Amino acid sequence: MTTRTIRIAAAVIRDEGGRLLLVRKRGTKAFMQAGGKIEPGELPAAALARELREELGIVVDPGAASHLGLFSAPAANEPDARVEAELFELSITDE
């Protein structure tokens, strides 16, 4: 059995009160950090900014994201897949 790898960029996003923003795809049970797949040739921070804008309407400067590291885990919503996540931290002041 071959496990495919999904490369994503995701963010730990905190508001001024220290609350975390988590998202959940429609029809799934797992909550996760906001983000998405990295396109071929795309830098992880740029992918994160693009995904946050496309999916949540949040506009961030890729340079404002603080890189936390590369993490790997079984994919929550895709059988036989592993997620390799470039994880960043962001502070958001807007609602």
Strand order in the sheet with 22-23: 22-23, 32-37, 4-14, 81-91, 66-74
- Domain 4-91 annotated CATH 3.90.79.10: yes
| pTM of the full structure | 0.87
What is the full per-residue pLDDT of the chain (95 aa) written as tens digits? 558 999 999 999 988 888 899 999 888 888 999 999 999 999 999 999 999 999 999 898 999 899 999 999 999 888 899 999 999 998 877 66
Q: Tell me the domain boundaries of the chain.
A: 4-91
